C-alpha cells in the first residue's frame, strides 16, 4: 500500500497570503488528522476529519481550516498568514480515528516571510 502523501513538501509564502496544503491518506483510511510542529511549541493537534466531517479541533484560531473529500483526501487552509505560522505541517491517517494507529506523512515545510 502506498503511504500517506503530502503536497507540496516545501512552500514559501508572504505574510498576509493564504495557503492550501494537501494530504492523501492510505487507501481505506477514513480519518485524517493535521498537526503543526514548531521548534518552540513542538507538536500540536490542529484538527481531525472523518467521513468528510470535522470531528475534533485543537486550540488554533479560525484562520486554520480544513476539509475532507469523499475519497478521504484532505486539505488544510491557512488564511492571512503570520510569521508564526512557519512550521512543519504533518498529516496522519488512520482507519477510523485517534483510537487507531496513525500513519504520518512526510510533512509540508511552510516558511512565511
Partner 1 sequence: KNEVEQSPQNLTAQEGEFITINCSYSVGISALHWLQQHPGGGIVSLFMLSSGKKKHGRLIATINIQEKHSSLHITASHPRDSAVYICAVRSGSGGSNYKLTFGKGTLLTVNP
Residue (12 or 43) nearer to partner 1, CB: 43
User: Which of 88, 91, 90 has the alpha carbon at shortest distance from 110?
Assistant: 88
| Three cell numbers written together for 81 | 498568514
Least distance between partner 1 and beta carbon 69 (Å): 19
- According to CB under 8 A, which one of 21, 23, 90, 110 is a site residue for partner 1? 90
- Positions in 48-67 near partner 1 (CB under 8 A): 48, 50, 55-56, 58
Residue with cell 507538536: 43
Count the site residues for partner 1 by CB under 8 A: 23
Spatial distance between the Cα atoms of 85 and 112, rounded to a whole number of angstroms: 7
Residue (81 or 105) nearer to partner 1, CB: 105
User: Which of 77, 94, 90 has the alpha carbon at shortest distance from 25?
Assistant: 94
Interaction of residue 25 with partner 1, rule CB under 8 A? no
Interaction of residue 102 with partner 1, rule CB under 8 A? yes
User: Which of 100, 95, 82 has the alpha carbon at shortest distance from 13?
Assistant: 82
Residue (78 or 87) nearer to partner 1, CB: 87
Spatial distance between the Cα atoms of 92 and 113, rounded to a whole number of angstroms: 27
Q: Which residues bind partner 1 (CB under 8 A)?
A: 37, 42-45, 48, 50, 55-56, 58, 88, 90, 92, 98-104, 106-107, 109
Amino acid at each position: 500500500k502506498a503511504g500517506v502523501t503530502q503536497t507540496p513538501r516545501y512552500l514559501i509564502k508572504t505574510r498576509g497570503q493564504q495557503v492550501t496544503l494537501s494530504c492523501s491518506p492510505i487507501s481505506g483510511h477514513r480519518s485524517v488528522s493535521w498537526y503543526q510542529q514548531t521548534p518552540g511549541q513542538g507538536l500540536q493537534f490542529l484538527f481531525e476529519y472523518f467521513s468528510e466531517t470535522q470531528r475534533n479541533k485543537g486550540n488554533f484560531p479560525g484562520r486554520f481550516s480544513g476539509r475532507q473529500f469523499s475519497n478521504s483526501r484532505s486539505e488544510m487552509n491557512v488564511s492571512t498568514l503570520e510569521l508564526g505560522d512557519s512550521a512543519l505541517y504533518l498529516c496522519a491517517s488512520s482507519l477510523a480515528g485517534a483510537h487507531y494507529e496513525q500513519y504520518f506523512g512526510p510533512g509540508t515545510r511552510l516558511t512565511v516571510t
